[in-house]
Amino acid sequence: MRRWSYVLWFLSFVFPLLSQVAFAEVQRFRLDANESQIIAKVNDPFGNVVNGALRVRQGEARGDLDRLAETGSVSLVIDAESYNSNIGLRNQDVQEYYLEVKQYPVIRFDSTAFQKSERPQSPKEPFQITLKGRLELHGVQKEVIVPLRLLYQTDKIIAQGSFRFSLEEFNISVPRLFFLKSGNQVDVDFRIVGERQP
């Protein structure tokens, strides 16, 4: 009888712990458009780097930080018409002739896998994460690999990173000025902020 009492006590102690591990909380974060920023960098025909800012329209990140490979996901919708290089005529050309925003008003990113996730040594340091995802731009979908640093706070996440793609991959004409051609490679730097949801 005493043995069964011990077994029951043991199970009543262990099962709640196991359930916490097995069903850890999946947290959800709504991405903050005002705090988030995406910068696309490309060389102009004279070799100067042109920085174009894009605005996140909406997005969400979710997952359990202990099980990102199984539970993590990220989705972003970016307003293509928000492209801003601080030069009005250039903005108009990029929006109308290259991004063709009337036909393709948004750029989308959806993660398909968390390839790598390294926990930080302390809460003040970021996670090191590598995302695989599907980028939809100019009506074309391509797989991209995105390395990023994720700083987790109690009610907020901040993700920063960069990746590269070519204009031709997405059927975007490489801009020209007479016989001079702009760069084909686009470097994207991003800072995405998410607010935790109940």
Express each pLDDT in 149-165 by its tens digit: 999 988 999 999 999 99
Residue 40 makes CB contacts below 8 A (sequence gap 6+) with 51, 52, 53, 54, 83, 186, 187, 188
Residue 75 tokens, joined: 């989705």
Q: Is the pLDDT reported for residue 29 higher than 50?
A: yes
**pLDDT value for 134:** 98
Q: Is the pLDDT reported for residue 18 higher than 60?
A: no
Secondary structure letter of residue 172 according to DSSP = P
Question: What is the mean predicted confidence (pLDDT) over 123-139?
Answer: 95
Give the span between the Cα atoms of 144 and 135, in whole angstroms: 7
For residue 48, how far is the Cα from the chain centroid? 27
Give the span between the Cα atoms of 168 and 182, in whole angstroms: 12
**How many Cβ atoms from other residues are within 10 Å of residue 190's Cβ?**
21
Residue 5 tokens, joined: 């009492």
8 A C-beta contact, residue 146 and residue 116: no
Residue 2 makes CB contacts below 8 A (sequence gap 6+) with none
**pLDDT value for 35:** 95
Residue 186 tokens, joined: 């686009």
What amino acid occupies position 140?
V
**How many Cβ atoms from other residues are within 10 Å of residue 1's Cβ?**
5
Residue 114 makes CB contacts below 8 A (sequence gap 6+) with 63, 68, 69, 72, 129, 130, 131, 132
